[in-house]
Chain A
Amino acid sequence: MLHPRFQRLRAFADDELTPRQRARAATHLTRCSDCRSIIGWLRAVRERARAGTELTAPSAAWSVIAERMRSGEVALAPVAAPPEPAPRLSRAVTTGIVLLIVASAVTALVTRDALFERFVPPASAPPTPAPLPAPSPFTEIVVPADRNDITVQLDAAGSGLRLRVRLSDAAELGVRATGAAAAAQFRSGPGRVFITRAANGEIVLDVPRRLANLRVEVEGQLWLAKQGELLLLRAPAVDTVGGEFLIPVR
């Protein structure tokens, strides 16, 4: 007897199959005790996992949080990037893409369904996972500029990291990290932002024009300073791109 793959049974248990696929699987299950036992195992594990650990927040945690708040620590939660508007495509290009997608989907459905339902034995090797798309991490924080004196400290930077500095009319200092740099450690204290272990990627500083004093230090060295209207650049290399400064850190 040909059995559905484990992946198909998992999808059956999760009610993720199309009606046609579900009907086929159900027909098989009525006469296959092995597959029924797998479904039973899947459901049992899920129920057991859901009934798993429920933690109670330790009482000491609130004291730490309150202390961190009182010390003026600035929030550094990852904020989801706002969706970017999709580029507009011409009608011809759009039509071509739609046709390509439809053709690919039809081909995939025909071959996958046929192969899966008829030829895949139960003991076949696990399917090769599809390559995962590269993640596009994005971390953004804002630091109130009401102190008028902020130091941004960048340490243990990885290779390929760039620092992009641009002046803005915003009221707050914006620090945005993209690429692998978004996985850096971000911490803050009053008037200070620490960024450590930023890998390749980009860190963008949106500097409010009204901010009186800003210091950007890389590995303890002063690379950029803003004093009132004056901007001092001491980095080893700086490119000017439009109204921005691009500083290769590594």
Chain B
Amino acid sequence: MRPLGWRLSEAELLRAVSAGSLDALGELYRAHADAVITLAFRMTGSRAEAEDVLQDVFVALPRALRGYHEQGRFAAWLKRTTVRTVLMRMRAAERRRETNLQEHLHDVPAASADRPVEWIALETALCALPSSLRAVFVLKELEGYSHAEIAELLDISPAAAMTRLSRAWHQLRKELAP
């Protein structure tokens, strides 16, 4: 049997994951985990929540891949799956009123030479955005999704996505503008 690793094509790797190979899943994890946790952190503003999302996404991957038919665009598909997982958890958390701004603020690192005060202020302001606005801001401005793609991901209209983006920018401006 051929060992798993870089010699497998992505399609072969995905088939192996779908068939239940933990080694293949580990290969995918090494390749994509940083991108998944970064996206989850940007959307949630919480390192602990991002780690939970990371775990949920990869535990779910073998079965979720059965519905994957976009050969060649796995990274984009994985990002959408991550976004959906984040949104599902956000909706549940909002219903339980468990979102705690102070907890999120603790996840913003202190200022340093690498991270000037302006950067910390932006991270703090992003964390303070309501999750529905932050999600749209991150998807549009940081991840480069179009309004139509955001609308599809969030189950809203493109016009609503635009409105939310404008509201997010308005709030950031109130917090950050000199």
Supposing A46-B141, A78-B85, A183-B91 touch, asked if A52 and B157 sit within 8 A by C-beta, the answer is no
- Cβ A77 vs Cβ B63 within 8 A: yes
Supposing A75-B59, A77-B56, A78-B84 touch, asked if A48 and B33 sit within 8 A by C-beta, the answer is no
Contact code string B123-144 (vs A, CB < 8 Å = 1, else 0):
1001000000000010011100
CA–CA, A46 and B165, complex, Å: 13
Enumerate the 4 nearest inter-chain pairs by beta-carbon distance, A residue then B residue, closest first. A77-B60, A75-B63, A183-B91, A57-B33
- Cβ A50 vs Cβ B33 within 8 A: no
Chain B contacts with A in 77-112, Cβ cutoff 8 A: 80-81, 84-85, 87-88, 91-92, 94-96, 109
- Cβ A184 vs Cβ B155 within 8 A: no
* Contact residues on A (Cβ < 8 Å of other chain), bracket: 35 or more
Measured CB to CB, the closest approach of chain B to A120, in angstroms, equals 14
B64 close to chain A: CB less than 8 A: yes
If over half of B's interface residues share one DSSP class (helix, strand or loop), that class is named, otherwise mixed; here it is helix
Choice from B22, B64, B166 contacting A75 with Cβ under 8 Å: B64
Chain A contacts with B in 135-169, Cβ cutoff 8 A: 135-139, 142
- Cβ B122 vs Cβ A48 within 8 A: yes
List B contacts of A7 (CB < 8 A). 166, 169-170
A74 close to chain B: CB less than 8 A: yes
Q: Which of the listed residues A14, A50, A53, A127 has the most CB atoms from chain B within 10 Å of its own CB?
A: A53
CA–CA, A111 and B56, complex, Å: 48
Give me 5 A-to-B residue pairs in the complex whose CB atoms sit less than 8 angstroms apart, sorted by A's number: A6-B170, A7-B169, A48-B119, A76-B60, A78-B85
A19 close to chain B: CB less than 8 A: no
- Cβ B85 vs Cβ A77 within 8 A: yes
Choice from A50, A130, A184 contacting B163 with Cβ under 8 Å: A130
- Cβ B84 vs Cβ A130 within 8 A: no
Interface-side segment among A60-68, A89-97, A209-217, A238-246 = A60-68
A180 close to chain B: CB less than 8 A: yes
CA–CA, A55 and B80, complex, Å: 18
CA–CA, A132 and B62, complex, Å: 35
A129 close to chain B: CB less than 8 A: yes
Other than A7-B169, A52-B142, give 18 A-B pairs with Cβ distance below 8 A: A42-B169, A45-B176, A46-B141, A49-B122, A49-B126, A50-B141, A52-B122, A55-B38, A57-B33, A58-B51, A70-B22, A79-B64, A129-B166, A130-B159, A137-B155, A183-B88, A183-B94, A197-B92
